[in-house]
């Protein structure tokens, strides 16, 4: 099963389980349409009416505001962004409103809101490429999930829908496994069997995707798979990366990372966001501040360079970390 299908299944199951769950977004419920930008809600309009699967104008501020208002008054909305870049059109709703309403009310209003958004460079140029995890991670009041596998996509989305707080879910364009007209060039196949039964993936529990003794590599989304690829190559040289998928950035499972560091003594983060102020910087700072005794070597960040993403596939490939760059950083780390 693909991630797109796993997300679709999670949405359908949650909507069947709880009549207060609704979806709201652009192009999400059009017969003959795409089912959102990357097919996640494709076909759901055959089962759910236009109240519960609510197609909106191109009004990001309006649709997130609407989702907030609905969440305050008894519904459990899942709001859909076509591209993460567009979330800045709703910056007031995402930064000033959603994560502060429970707080400003002294804990008297709850806000069971889910916002989903696709991240990642995909040869579309600078305004359809960003990975804004750090913007949301920086803002108190959000929980933040970053599923990289179909199983996690289903389980984390279900957990998000049942959470009484605002939850952001970033998904990666090249990992969806979208098909037909929405098929992505350079997509990575991450299909896996996903159980039909109801399950959730709890927040704040990282998964070790590959055990290794030399470097603890924390990576998300596409960078997780490129790190695994680098680990495969490096194994031939006798270098063993331990690859950790945090699954959620807020809350962040420092315990698993520290356990891993107890074995490796070396920390590397790999992210597709630009390097300055990305989530990797936060993880490194936290480990350096609190657990420096676990580190045998200075920690390392691998990230996209500090420039917007160019449209040229050649330039995009240069800017975004690939397995070779990750492997090179690992070799350099072990050489010092």
Q: Is residue 297 part of the contact set for other proteins (CB under 8 A)?
A: no
Q: Identify the DSSP state of 95.
A: I
**Residue in 128, 138, 172, 221 annotated catalytic:** 128
Using CB under 8 A, pick the residue from 31, 32, 57, 238 that binds other proteins: 57
Tell me whether residue 138 is one of the annotated catalytic residues.
no
* Interacting positions 247-286 with other proteins (CB under 8 A): none
Q: Is residue 189 part of the contact set for other proteins (CB under 8 A)?
A: no
Q: Is residue 18 part of the contact set for other proteins (CB under 8 A)?
A: no
Q: Which is nearer to other proteins, 56 or 216 (CB)?
A: 56
Nearest in space to 178 (alpha carbons), one of 209, 202, 199, 153: 153
* Interacting positions 106-145 with other proteins (CB under 8 A): 106-111, 140-141, 143
- Give the other-Cβ count within 10 Å of 204's Cβ: 17
Cα Rg of the chain, angstroms: 20
**Closest approach of Cβ 124 to other proteins, in Å?**
24
3-class SS letters over 150-203: HHHHHHHHHHHHHCCCCEEEEEEHHHCCCCHHHCCCCCCCCCCCCCCCCCCCCC
Q: Is residue 70 part of the contact set for other proteins (CB under 8 A)?
A: yes
Q: Is residue 7 part of the contact set for other proteins (CB under 8 A)?
A: no
Q: Is residue 336 part of the contact set for other proteins (CB under 8 A)?
A: no
SS3 238: coil
Q: Which is nearer to other proteins, 2 or 56 (CB)?
A: 56
* C-alpha–C-alpha distance, residues 332 and 322, integer Å: 16
Using CB under 8 A, pick the residue from 65, 118, 155, 246 that binds other proteins: 65
Q: Residue 37 corresponds to which tokens in the numbers above?
A: 């930008």
Q: Is residue 66 part of the contact set for other proteins (CB under 8 A)?
A: yes
Q: By the 8 A CB rule, do 319 and 274 touch?
A: no
Q: By the 8 A CB rule, do 131 and 308 touch?
A: no
Residues noted as catalytic: 128
Binding site for other proteins (CB under 8 A): 20, 22, 51-52, 54, 56-57, 59, 61-75, 77, 92-93, 96-97, 100-111, 140-141, 143, 164-165
């Amino acid at each position: 099963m693909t991630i797109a299908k796993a997300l679709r299944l999670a949405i359908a199951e949650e909507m069947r389980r709880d009549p207060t769950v609704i979806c709201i977004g652009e192009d999400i419920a059009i017969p003959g349409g795409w089912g959102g930008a990357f097919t996640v809600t494709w076909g759901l309009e055959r089962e759910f009416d236009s109240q519960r699967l609510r197609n909106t104008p191109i009004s990001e501020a309006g649709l997130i505001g609407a989702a907030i208002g609905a969440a305050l008054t008894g519904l459990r909305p899942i709001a859909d962004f076509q591209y993460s870049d567009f979330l800045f059109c709703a910056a007031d709703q995402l930064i000033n409103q959603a994560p502060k309403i429970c707080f400003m009310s002294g804990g008297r209003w709850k806000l069971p809101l889910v916002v989903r958004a696709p991240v990642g460079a995909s040869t579309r140029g600078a305004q359809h490429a960003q990975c804004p995890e750090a913007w949301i991670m920086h803002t108190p009041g959000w929980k933040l999930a970053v599923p990289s596998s179909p199983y996690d996509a289903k389980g984390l989305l279900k957990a998000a829908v049942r959470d009484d707080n605002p939850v952001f879910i970033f998904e990666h364009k090249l990992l969806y496994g979208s098909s037909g007209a929405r098929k992505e060039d350079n997509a990575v196949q991450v299909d896996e069997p996903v159980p039909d039964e109801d399950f959730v993936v709890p927040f704040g529990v990282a998964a070790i995707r590959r055990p290794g003794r030399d470097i603890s590599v924390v990576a998300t989304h596409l960078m997780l798979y490129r790190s695994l690829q680098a680990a495969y190559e490096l194994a031939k040289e006798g270098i063993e990366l331990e690859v950790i998928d945090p699954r959620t950035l807020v809350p962040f499972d420092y315990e698993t990372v520290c356990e891993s560091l107890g074995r490796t003594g070396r920390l590397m983060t790999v992210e597709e966001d630009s390097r300055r102020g990305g989530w990797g910087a936060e993880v490194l700072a936290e480990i350096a501040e609190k657990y420096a005794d676990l580190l045998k070597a200075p920690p390392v960040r691998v990230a996209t360079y500090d420039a917007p993403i160019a449209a040229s596939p050649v330039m995009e490939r240069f800017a975004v970390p690939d397995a070779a760059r990750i492997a090179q950083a690992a070799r350099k780390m072990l050489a010092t």
